[in-house]
Amino acid sequence: MEHPVGNRPDRDVLRAHNAGPERENVVQLARRLLEPSILVCPGVYDAFTARLVEQAGFEAVFLSGAAVSYSALGQPDVGLVGLEEMASRISSVANAVSVPVIADGDNGHGSAVNLIRTTRLFEQAGADAVQFEDQVFPKRCGHMGGKQLISAQEMALKIEAACHARRHDDFLIIGRTDARSEEGLEAALSRARLYRDAGADVLFVESPLTEEELARCVEALPGVPLVANMLEGGQTPLVGNRILEALGYSIALWPNSLVRRFAFAGAALLDELKATDTTGHLLDQMVPFPALNELLGIEDFAAIEARYLPNQQAMRSQ
């Protein structure tokens, strides 16, 4: 039986997929959101997890700021990841996959002036869309308590600044409000309308508390693509992608599913290794080494060596 990891999508290992001047994925993502079917975006935190998502057949990846904080810093999502750290992750992810990359821009890493640099740096690094939220700096996870918000007017100006800063008109600006938890749903919807009028291409109302509130967001914000954030254990109930599609959402983010599943599986493996002194009995729960190398593109590098280093012993995936 074929292992689920393998048969990776065709790619040219020498080509930077999302970094070229044409930026095909920027246009592809903008056009994709015109379709009625929902775009499901699992959250990733590095190039490896992005390849897993692409190999599984998803059409885009979401580079989660929270997951990057967990994996790169071993710290919670409380605004510790720096601008250039995040841009570096975007570059790694964008060069590893051929699908569009949606990047978490937090609150723009400061004022509107900082946000302009964030927009340009993320776009240059290879992102095809960026999400900005209306929290103060430093920010915290949208499903944590005690969040503080900037004024709606200040955030609208930040959205306007992002739209002016982007180099490609189809580079999507996602305007997110975290006001539901602090000011109530109707206040959050009022903010979202203001961000739409300021130029946001996509709107994201964080933390609706019920399925009825999810539906209310769609009703109150017609004519613009909407994001639903499915965080396991968060304030919003987990709703299936097809239900979200029927409600009228355009994007479903599953930002931390992979990192939390990997943490669970990794802890279990480490317990087994400590208890039994080996992992030999767990091989059927691991990706085989050849399949892992296939996912990572070993044959591409073998072909490069054959062409440019003809006298060197050929690479093998085993």
Sequence ranges of the domains in the chain? 24-255, 263-308
Please determine, for residue 18, whether its predicted confidence score (pLDDT) is greater than 50.
Answer: no
Which CATH code fits 24-255? 3.20.20.60
pLDDT tens profile 66-91: 999 999 999 988 888 999 999 999 99
d(Cα 247, Cα 224) in Å, to the nearest integer?
13
Report pLDDT for 40.
98
- Can you tell me whether residue 105 is helix, strand or coil? coil
The predicted structure's pLDDT at residue 9: 56
Computed from CA positions of residues 135, 136, 140, 145, in that sequence, does the dihedral angle turn out positive or negative? Answer: negative
Higher pLDDT, 147 or 186: 186
pLDDT category, 14, cuts 50, 70, 90?
Answer: very low
The secondary structure of residue 314, as a DSSP letter, is P
Neighbours of 36 (CB within 10 A): 7
Positions of E strands within 206-244: 226-229
The pLDDT of residue 139 is above 60: yes
pLDDT tens digit sequence for 288-310: 999 999 988 888 888 888 888 88
Across the chain, mean pLDDT equals 90
Over pLDDT 90: what percentage of the chain?
Answer: 78
Statement: residue 20 has pLDDT above 70: no
* pLDDT computed for residue 7 by the predictor: 55
Q: What is the pLDDT of residue 17?
A: 45
pLDDT score of 6 more than 80: no
**Considering only 1-15, 83-97, 138-152, 248-262, which range has the smallest mean pLDDT?**
1-15
Tell whether the model's pLDDT for residue 41 goes beyond 50.
yes
Q: Lowest mean pLDDT: which of 13-22, 79-88, 165-174, 175-184? A: 13-22
Distance CA 206, CA 223 (A): 19
- Cα–Cα dist 287/290, whole Å: 8
In angstroms, how far apart are the furthest CA atoms of the chain?
Answer: 69
Pick the range with the lowest mean pLDDT from 75-79, 239-243, 263-267: 75-79
3-state helix, strand, coil in the chain (%, to 5): 45, 10, 40
Residue 204 reports pLDDT greater than 80: yes
With contact defined as beta carbons under 8 Å apart, do 305 and 16 qualify? no
Q: First-to-last CA distance in the chain?
A: 18
Cα separation, 157 vs 163, whole angstroms: 10
Query: Strand 202-205 vs strand 226-229: parallel, antiparallel, or unpaired?
Result: parallel
Section 306-315 average pLDDT: 76
pLDDT band at 141 (very low <50, low <70, confident <90, very high): low
Q: How far is CA 116 from CA 72, 175, 258, in A?
A: 25, 14, 30
Question: What is d(CA 252, CA 239) in angstroms, rounded to the nearest whole number?
Answer: 10
Give the C-alpha separation, 251 to 219, whole Å: 16
> Which strand (E) or helix (H) includes residue 220?
helix 211-220
Q: Who's near 210: CB < 8 A, 6+ residues apart?
A: 237
Instruction: Please report the pLDDT score of residue 112 as a whole number.
Output: 96
Inter-residue contact 227 to 176 (CB < 8 Å):
yes
pTM summary value: 0.88
Q: Output 162 or 144, whichever has higher pLDDT.
A: 162
Whole-number percent of the chain with pLDDT over 70: 88
